[in-house]
Amino acid sequence: MRFAYTIAYVDNVEASLAFFEQAFGLKRRFVAPGGGYGELETGGTALAFADHATARGSLGQDYLPADQSERPLGIEIGLVTEDVPAACDRAVTAGARLLTPPTVKPWGQTVAYVRCPDGVLVELCTAMG
């Protein structure tokens, strides 16, 4: 078995794709006809988005949309970068909300957290060792 992708359930797939392209420099990999599903290239895996109708149809039940939760949900997307402060600034300029500014952890990694307009929690961090 291998990890293939993460899908965030969002209100508007096109808006989420455009935000992640602008905020994090990711490139589109695929958008389904009708626009209910789309993927961004992240290297060995994909970051995907499905609109709520598509997600509910696939899941077969309801769920809590991330953008309707006052607090971030208990899952994050981690993006590695050499310059966390610059990446953080770029994300905030694109419309993300800064939750935790860049902080150097005791093990040497720099980490920051932003919340995207679609409610997705993103960790921006330097590579480990």
Boundaries of every domain in the chain: 5-125
Question: How far, in Å, CA of 104 to CA of 72, rounded?
Answer: 22
Q: Which residues pair with 103 in a beta bridge?
A: 111
H helices present in the chain, as ranges: 13-24, 52-59, 84-94
Residues in CB range of 117: below 8 A, 6 or more apart:
15, 16, 19, 67, 95, 96
- Predicted local distance difference test score (pLDDT) of residue 103: 97
pLDDT of residue 23: 98
End-to-end CA distance of the chain: 26
pLDDT at position 43 is 86
Domain 5-125 has CATH 3.40.1670.10: no
- Average pLDDT per block of 10 residues along the chain, 129 residues long: 94 98 96 97 93 96 95 95 98 98 96 98 94
- pTM across the whole model: 0.94
